[in-house]
């Protein structure tokens, strides 16, 4: 059975312990809420040090250019 939570009268939700432990989420961590249809995707905001080197080795050929934007 999936983990569930209830929205409080103060519009707060406690993330179930099972989910926090599986995702290695810690108190004070920042999250972003992304609307998806009738639901919401909750993702942790990465720290800058986690993004270092993420594009290393990427091939710049064929990437989208500003010319294709409106």
Question: What's the pLDDT tens digit per position in 27-56?
Answer: 999 999 999 999 999 999 988 888 888 888
Exposed / middle / buried, residue 44 (Cβ in 10 Å: 0-12, 13-18, 19+):
middle
Q: Looking at residue 48, what is its pLDDT?
A: 87
Whether the model pTM is above 0.85: no
CA–CA distance, 5 with 15 (Å, rounded to integer): 7
Predicted local confidence at residue 58, as pLDDT: 83
Domain boundaries defined on the chain: 20-47
């Amino acid at each position: 059975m999936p983990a569930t939570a209830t929205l409080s009268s103060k519009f707060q939700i406690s993330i179930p312990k099972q989910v926090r432990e599986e995702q290695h989420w810690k108190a004070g961590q920042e999250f972003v809420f992304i609307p998806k249809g009738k639901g919401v995707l909750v993702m942790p905001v990465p720290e800058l040090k986690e993004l270092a080197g993420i594009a290393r080795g990427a091939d710049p050929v064929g990437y989208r250019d500003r010319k294709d934007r409106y």
